């Protein structure tokens, strides 16, 4: 792996594909244990969570449901804090055990909004699984149940995460060269 360029910015290798896959298998194992005998509904947040969800699901051995929703909240390299409407949630959540699947939790604004909307739909339980978590900028109190990896407060791309729409297809994660 070497330094890459996306538009005007340069990024260096940060989390290799092998490491990512191992981290995701660990999360899947915990979920398999915690939800033994249950039928959870996994809700992925588009666009960023599509790769994580794909690989996570390959190691989930529960009978389960998978769905995706969309929230637009981020532009460029800074979290705006603005969160738009939730699009695409058609199924009833009443009585469901819901697991929200996120690519990355930064300030927690996106997650908080989503959590509120989902709680209003009266699920039996709601847990959160995220590939990456930045403890420094995180401003909320609610618990993040499954974290594949904690990272420093830096801008990352790849494996679903973009810079200005690009870089989502990279199989590993890169960090901005400062």
Number of residues that bind ligand 5GP (CB under 6 A): 20
Interacting span for ligand 5GP (CB under 6 A) from 4-12, 90-98, 103-111, 121-129: 103-111
Judged by beta carbon, residue 17 or residue 155, the one nearer ligand 5GP is 155
**Whole-angstrom distance between the N-terminal and C-terminal Cα of the chain?**
18
Distance from the Cα of residue 18 to its chain's centroid: 18
Judged by beta carbon, residue 145 or residue 162, the one nearer ligand 5GP is 162
Which residues are within 8 A (CB) of 118 and not within 5 positions of it... i.e. 6 or more apart?
43, 93, 98, 100, 126
115-154 residues near ligand 5GP, rule: CB under 6 A: none
DSSP state of 135: T
Judged by beta carbon, residue 19 or residue 162, the one nearer ligand 5GP is 162
- Longest Cα–Cα distance of the chain, Å, equals 49
Exposure pattern of 1-34 as b/e (b: 16+ CB <10 Å)? eeebebeebebeebbeeeebeebbeebbeebeee
Active site residue 164: no
Q: How far apart are CA 44 and CA 67, in angstroms?
A: 6
Candidates 101, 161, 170, 173; binder of ligand 5GP (CB under 6 A) is 161
Interacting span for ligand 5GP (CB under 6 A) from 25-33, 55-63, 97-105, 117-125: 97-105
Interface residues with ligand 5GP (CB under 6 A)? 48, 73-74, 79, 102-111, 155-157, 161-163
Q: Report the catalytic residues.
A: 106
């Amino acid at each position: 792996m070497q330094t890459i360029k996306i538009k005007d910015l340069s990024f260096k290798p940060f989390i290799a594909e092998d490491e990512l896959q191992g981290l995701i298998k660990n999360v899947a194992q915990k979920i398999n244990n915690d939800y033994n005998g249950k039928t959870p509904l996994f809700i992925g947040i588009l666009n960023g969570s599509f790769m994580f969800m794909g690989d996570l699901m390959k190691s989930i051995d529960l009978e389960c449901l998978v769905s995706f929703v969309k929230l637009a909240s981020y532009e460029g390299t800074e979290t705006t804090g603005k969160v738009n409407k939730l699009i695409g949630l058609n199924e009833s959540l009443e009585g469901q055990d819901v697991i929200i699947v996120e690519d990355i939790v930064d300030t927690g604004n996106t997650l908080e909004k989503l959590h509120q909307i989902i709680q209003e739909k009266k699920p039996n339980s709601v847990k959160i699984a995220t590939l990456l978590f930045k403890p420094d900028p995180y401003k909320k109190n609610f618990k993040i149940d499954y974290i594949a990896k904690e990272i420093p407060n830096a801008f990352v791309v790849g494996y679903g995460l973009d810079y200005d729409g690009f870089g989502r297809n990279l199989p590993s994660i890169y960090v901005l060269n400062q």
